[in-house]
Structure 1
Amino acid sequence: ELRTPGTVYTFAVGAKAKLPEFVKYQTEGLLQGVKYDPKDVPEGTALYIAACATCHGVPGVDKGGNIRNLGYVPAEEITKLKDIVFNGPFRERGMPDFTDKLKEEDVVK
């Protein structure tokens, strides 16, 4: 069964990317095993809410927005976050490039 809060389509002029597959909400297997410094949590939370939560949701609180909730991805994907945020492998699917919005040190903490 597919459950979504709605579908948001993002278009780029001249792009020819296929629409992403619809997937079931994943609500088990909350992210674990990512090393972090507890002192960075308040600032990191604020950055996530400002830049990510609209699309990805709040881990452990809701099912996500129109894109996969990052609270349920494998820890290995979080280690690649810098490349995803700044190099745009999902840009063709509508993910914005955060190069001018976030600093690298904010993403790799």
Structure 2
Amino acid sequence: YEFWRDPKADDNDSAPWRTTCTIITTEARDAAGRVHPRMPLAIPVADYDAWLDPAHEDADELRDLLVTPAAGHLVARPVSTAVNNVRNDGPGLIEEISPQQDTQ
């Protein structure tokens, strides 16, 4: 994760800071593979502190914390095709829908 100041933000902008993160992926090996060939790697709860510790700089040790989620820990479900456009954002993108509901 990273906190950074939007370089396009005006000096008078009251909210110029952004919080961003990266999703690290691997080849999909479960039901997610029906939807997309990649799936996210995960960090076990017991390793959250080590992963998020900014003083932890050993890349090999951190890489070893990444695991493929066990079968059943990720659920594939229908969502709106609005997720296919990077300009769309918001919590509604992950709401489960029936295929008949997809109106974007």
Report the TM range for the smaller structure's normalisation.
under 0.3
TM-score, normalised to structure 2's length? Answer: 0.22
Query: Larger Rg: 1 or 2?
Result: 2
Structure with greater strand percent: 2
Q: Relative to total residues, which structure has the larger helix share, 1 or 2?
A: 1
Structure 1-normalised TM-score? 0.21
